Structure 1
Amino acid sequence: MNFYIVDVFAESKYAGNQLAVFCGTGVAELSEAQMLLIAREINYSETTFIRSPDRRNNGYDVRIFTPKKELPFAGHPTLGTAFVLQQEIIGEKVDRVILNLAVGQIPVTFNYRNQSADILWMRQNSPNFGQVLSAKTLATVLNLEPDEIDEKFPIQEVSTGVPFIIVPLKTIAALKKAKVNSDKYFELINTTEAKEILIFCPETYSDINDLSVRVFADSLGIPEDPATGSANGCLAGYLVNYGYFGQDAIDIKVEQGYEIDRPSLLLLQSQRTNGEIEVLVGGKVVMVAKGEFV
């Protein structure tokens, strides 16, 4: 099997979120257990498997694994896999690549600069809004004080395919300070559909960005994720739904991964149209390595 390593939501190599993408004739023969073993061997937050180089229903069948389990959808694996498909399998400029994932077909569109793929955009499902949680509970989970959480906006489960608990903070000092209390975290997720937590604040490391974000995913074997497209898609819907920026549409830059030395940049666009919230998440993908599994 051929494999490719790409950095997703990265402005340059060795930043963003790492992804291993497998393709080739051997991939179709892999069992679910074998794919999970390979994902554990790679030990990135996610590894993807392109099941066939041929399209089905105009899309490519792809499966996504963390070191612990298969996911129905994830953001940076979707962009990174689409990039590998365009670069290595399709081999020419295309406007769009569709991935057939467990949540359905997810389209990825390409913008090019000097004939090279530049910004990739994925359209996520319209967000669903679930349980609202208390500041006191999340403060305990995150080792924060309740007054460090922004009470003007709810703590809520949101999903565009995979649910996340969205937690608004007031300052970047609180964002930096946050640290998951494992016992309280696992106690909490026994009562929630969402098992991962996104925290965000309006203060940023870089003046050109609009929000700073961290994502904790201990239930997936990922203590902290450097760039999370699925979670930021949920955040985009949340921001529009609650008018965080005082309007029904956003076009913003979000930074993530600074606390773990993997600076990442995610582009979020969202708007409410005919009662539905549309969500787009974009970013760059950089090829880092190519190889072969034997």
Structure 2
Amino acid sequence: MGISPITSSRSGFSGTIEMDAPVRGRLIAVEQNFYLLDVFAEGQYSGNQLAVFRNAAHIKADDMRRLAAEVHFSETAFIMSDEPWSGAYAMRVFTPAEEIPFSGHAVLGAAYVLQTELFGSSYPQMAVDLPCGRVNIAFTYRYTAVDLVWMTHLPPEYGGTVERHAAAAAVGLDVSEVIEGLPVIQVSTGMPFLMIPVRSRLALARARVDTQKYVSLREATGVRSLYLFAPETYSADNRFSARMFAPDYGIHEDAATGAGAGCLAAYVLDYMTPEFDATDFSIEQGYEIWRPSLLFARARRGVEGMRVDVGGRVQMVARGSFV
């Protein structure tokens, strides 16, 4: 299964980004404001770091990539305009290497910026348009401040399965550490991941990408993002621990992966609790890289198919400008 990282007929984004030689002069013609946020953060300086640029329609695609590489977070979000287009706010997301069709923590962080900087506390819902399609967002409040930001993912799509031994080898684990009886399978709710269920938090902590084995797996299956999860946590309040590696996107390891959490919610409902119509749980991530994060995920079956939602808390860290 594959989703082109920069092509979509639904949201109107298309084209390719070429890696040009370094350019002289300024990437952007005017001073460009940006925001730094921590997403899926329960406290200060935790969660997944994000940079957000507003009113970015004038920035060329390759310059967006260059700005993302300069910031060098796992993803950087660009909101095209403070004005909605056809009922939604158009945005694009770049890793340090390339554009991607969807990023959960980028969507939540960008929505938080729009809500706090533009809308105010009386704006409970909004939508953004990405290359993967339209994503609906809802806010919950504690008094007048935003508490949780939720996004509704696209319906799950399932790709091919991968042999346990090949998946284990790609992340430096023994095949016995990958849970037998559960599929190692590609899942997408906007962005595809190879879902790898591992037995314990200790096995999860030992995982390391083996570059040669990863490349072999990618060439054989098209897999580019690896999402590992274990049914053990630091806190008894949470249900899963997770890690995500995406070397091809310039992401050695992600501190919190909202897109992957949506895939996990669908996976749990379809493969781990198929007798139920709903699941609702929280996920720990980022502990191995000193960025503890907490993600909330839920999935429900309905007459129109499965609905998947992922939520979390967002902390504003800084405001500034590129000059």
Q: TM-score range by the shorter chain?
A: over 0.9
For the residue of structure 1 that corresponds to 2:220, the secondary structure is coil
Q: Do the aligned partners of 1:240 and 1:277 also contact (CA within 8 Å) in 2?
A: no
TM-superposed CA distance for 1:243, in Å, is 2.8
Q: 1: CA distance between counterparts of 2:114 and 2:121?
A: 10
Structure 1 residues 130-155: Cα deviation after superposition (integer angstroms, max 9, x where no partner): 10111111111111111111112100
TM-score by length of 2: 0.88
Q: 1: CA distance between counterparts of 2:148 and 2:131?
A: 24
Hey, what does 2:90 align to over in structure 1? 61
Correspondence 1:134-283 to 2 at 5 A: 134-244=163-273, 247-274=276-303, 276-283=305-312
2:51 to 20, 43, 47: 20
2:124 to 78, 84, 95: 95
For the residue of structure 2 that corresponds to 1:30, the secondary structure is coil
Correspondence 1:277-292 to 2 at 5 A: 277-292=306-321
TM-superposed CA distance for 1:92, in Å, is 4.1
Could you tell me which amino acid in structure 1 is paired with residue 228 of structure 2?
A: I
Q: 2: CA distance between counterparts of 1:142 and 1:103?
A: 28
How has the CA–CA distance of structure 1 residues 210 and 17 changed in structure 2, closer, same or farther, with 3 Å as cutoff? same
Q: Do the aligned partners of 2:228 and 2:244 also contact (CA within 8 Å) in 1?
A: yes
Structure 1 residues 87-114: Cα deviation after superposition (integer angstroms, max 9, x where no partner): 1122342111211111111011000001
Q: 1: CA distance between counterparts of 2:231 and 2:151?
A: 24
TM-superposed CA distance for 1:7, in Å, is 0.4
Structure 1 residues 201-230: Cα deviation after superposition (integer angstroms, max 9, x where no partner): 111111211110011111111111000000
**Percent sequence identity over matched residues?**
42
Could you tell me which amino acid in structure 2 is paired with residue 12 of structure 1?
A: G
Could you tell me which amino acid in structure 2 is paired with residue 34 of structure 1?
A: D
Q: Do the aligned partners of 1:241 and 1:248 also contact (CA within 8 Å) in 2?
A: no
Q: 2: CA distance between counterparts of 1:38 and 1:212?
A: 31
Any stretches of 5+ residues in structure 2 without a counterpart? 1-31
Coordinate RMSD, CA, aligned? 1.2
TM-score by length of 1: 0.96
Any stretches of 5+ residues in structure 1 without a counterpart? none
> Which structure has greater strand proportion?
1
Structure 1 residues 45-66: Cα deviation after superposition (integer angstroms, max 9, x where no partner): 0001111111111111111000
TM-superposed CA distance for 1:70, in Å, is 0.5
For the residue of structure 1 that corresponds to 2:146, the secondary structure is strand
Q: Do the aligned partners of 2:198 and 2:229 also contact (CA within 8 Å) in 1?
A: yes
For the residue of structure 2 that corresponds to 1:68, the secondary structure is coil
Hey, what does 1:8 align to over in structure 2? 39
How has the CA–CA distance of structure 1 residues 212 and 109 changed in structure 2, closer, same or farther, with 3 Å as cutoff? same
Q: 2: CA distance between counterparts of 1:32 and 1:127?
A: 28
Q: 2: CA distance between counterparts of 1:284 and 1:91?
A: 17
Q: 1: CA distance between counterparts of 2:162 and 2:96?
A: 28
Q: 1: CA distance between counterparts of 2:132 and 2:168?
A: 32
Q: 1: CA distance between counterparts of 2:136 and 2:159?
A: 25
Hey, what does 1:74 align to over in structure 2? 103
Q: Do the aligned partners of 1:200 and 1:214 also contact (CA within 8 Å) in 2?
A: yes
Structure 1 residues 174-221: Cα deviation after superposition (integer angstroms, max 9, x where no partner): 111111101110121122243100111111111211110011111111
Q: 1: CA distance between counterparts of 2:37 and 2:298?
A: 23
TM-superposed CA distance for 1:275, in Å, is 6.5
Structure 1 residues 205-261: Cα deviation after superposition (integer angstroms, max 9, x where no partner): 112111100111111111110000001111110110113486331110110000000
Q: 2: CA distance between counterparts of 1:280 and 1:193?
A: 26
Hey, what does 1:122 align to over in structure 2? 151
Q: Do the aligned partners of 2:37 and 2:315 also contact (CA within 8 Å) in 1?
A: yes
For the residue of structure 1 that corresponds to 2:226, the secondary structure is strand
